[in-house]
Amino acid sequence: MKIFFAAFLLLSATAFAASSLYDFTMPALNGTPTPLAGFKGKVVLVVNVASQCGYTPQYEGLQALYAKYKDQGFVIAGFPANNFGGQEPGTNEEIGAFCRSKYGVTFPMFSKISVKGGDQAPLYQFLTDKTANPKTGGEIQWNFTKFLVDRDGRVIRRFEPAVEPQAKELVTAVESTLKK
């Protein structure tokens, strides 16, 4: 695990050097390094997810949102995390199987990471950094926190876990960002 984490750190830009989502490379569920620069020109919703959380049913709404807008340049990037109450204890393989079988998830899912604390992934250091992202920065409080990223890789909105994927404020934000 230490070797994997060291490799992971080398593949990711640090929060302090990053200026956009595109500066990061993250391992997909199967471990393949995936440059987030592959999302250039798309509107991205970055979500920290968990399989055993009260908010887990949001996977259904996230998948519906993705299906509705993906042809317009929208993508959801799911990042499993076990930071809150041990609600994501599974392996990457178990997480992928759960998401596909229970919720039919087809949006990109990444390897399990830490979204807060001393081992926080550099991507989440960037997303939560109040200097880099003054309007959306701040510590992640729970699973299913959502960050909306524009076509230029800039974080423009943050939605806390209680905001459902089909909530008017989130859908309106996605639609208006897609039009830009």
Catalytic residues: 53
Type of residue numbered 43? V
Q: Where are the alpha helices (DSSP H) in the chain?
A: 2-11, 58-69, 92-103, 122-128, 168-179
Nearest to 39 by CA among 90, 74, 9: 74
- Name the residue with tokens 């550099």: 122
Residues paired with residue 146 on neighbouring β-strands, in sequence order: 47, 159
Coil, helix or strand at residue 57 = coil
Q: Are 109 and 78 in contact (CB under 8 A)?
A: yes
